Amino acid sequence: MHTKAAQTYISKLAGSSLSKYVDVVFFLKFIVLMGGIYYFNVFYISIIDARGYIYSSFFDQHLNYFSLLRASILHTANFLDHLYGLDSYVADPYRLKLQNGHGVFVDLACLGYGVMSFWVAFILAHNNSWQKKLIWSVGGIVFLWFLNCCRVALLIVSIVKRWNTERWMDSHALFNLIVYSFIIMMIFFYYKLSKRKEGSSRLAPDL
């Protein structure tokens, strides 16, 4: 009896100590949301992949949001390269090329759905209004999407300038490092802005 009471006391003490440093509820919600969003995308890829076992031509042809995402990245990167003065063009739904034939192949792994899933899960795990969650989620997705467009555009520039982009790490790893650095900054900005709004609401007079 005393042993059970001691175990209960220790577990409560450990839980209360942990809650001082980690928001356990938020962490669990984030893990569930992150896994759900990310693996939904993985499952959806298997639906639109003609080589998959559960391929659906209807979803592939009419509800393939990965193709729309890839097209938006390619055409935006092409626009950025033209602003830089390069004569690039979208050769097919997967490639951005230069006139000399060199180019960049944008596969599913290059679309950034992993980092987007991370950001959306982080925002949805907080106890905020749906309007605030929608604004922060969409804003973060657009920002991460634009970073990806800049990456593809810069890869074309690197071909022209003959930069050794693979000297220290491959472009995917470098992109992930840069993006997660920006995500840390976005999280810092999110908490700072949220605290500022909470402080202003507390100071507002009751009418």
Q: Which residues pair with 100 in a beta bridge?
A: none
Q: Which residue has the tokens 């500022």?
A: 196
Predicted confidence (pLDDT) per residue in 19-56, tens digit: 555 678 899 999 999 999 999 999 999 999 888 789 99
The answer, as to whether pTM is greater than 0.85, is no
* Planar angle of CA 138, 172, 135, nearest 5 degrees: 5
CA atoms of 63 and 58, how far apart (whole Å) = 7
Q: Cβ distance 106 to 96 under 8 Å?
A: yes
Element (H, E) at 96: strand 95-98
pLDDT of residue 158: 87
Predicted confidence (pLDDT) per residue in 48-105, tens digit: 988 878 999 999 999 999 999 999 999 999 999 999 999 999 999 999 999 888 899 9
Percent of the chain surpassing pLDDT 90: 59
CA atoms of 69 and 80, how far apart (whole Å) = 17
Percent of the chain surpassing pLDDT 70: 79
Q: Cβ distance 33 to 124 under 8 Å?
A: yes
pLDDT of residue 101: 82
Mean pLDDT across the chain: 83
pLDDT of residue 48: 93
Q: Which residue has the tokens 């949805």?
A: 124
Query: What b/e readout covers 105-129, taking b as 16+ CB neighbours within 10 angstroms?
Result: ebebebbbbbbbbbbbbbbbbbeee
Q: Which residue has the tokens 């230069």?
A: 98
